[in-house]
Amino acid sequence: MLLLTLFSDDAFTFTLKLCTSLSLIPYLLAAGYALRISPGRHRELIIALLATVYTAFLVIAAGIEYVLLSCIVYAPGTLLFVRARREQEATVFTAVEKGLVVVVVAGAAVGVAALATGWITI
């Protein structure tokens, strides 16, 4: 993260926006999980739905550039997740987790390509 700020024109703003977008993805996943476990409880379902919609809006508002940069940061973290699951002798990925890994790795590949071609600048 510190190395990225060396190449940034406005390091403080870049770091602030990237950290914000890095925190939005876990919030979206947590809100989606709350939505998943709340059927049958109307109050919780409404709150979870509002949280999911609002957080999805925030991810979109953050901009595709920062979401792709977030994927570049999250993709290597998947290796730590795999290692931890193997140490616990647990199933590495569930079906939903496999889908999320594919999305994150694809986003990271697009992000790296976008950085290489100049579509995204730091």
Per-residue H/E/C for 3-50: HHHHCCCCHHHHHHHHHHHHHHHHHHHHHHHHHHHCCCCHHHHHHHHH
Residue 5: its pLDDT value, please?
Answer: 64
- Domain positions in the chain: 1-62, 64-122
Give tens-digit pLDDT for 20-45: 889 999 999 999 999 999 988 999 99
Find the radius of gyration of the CA atoms of the chain. 17
Residue 43: its pLDDT value, please?
Answer: 95
Residue 67 near residue 104 (C-beta atoms within 8 A): no
Give tens-digit pLDDT for 51-102: 999 999 999 998 999 999 999 999 999 999 999 999 999 999 999 899 999 9
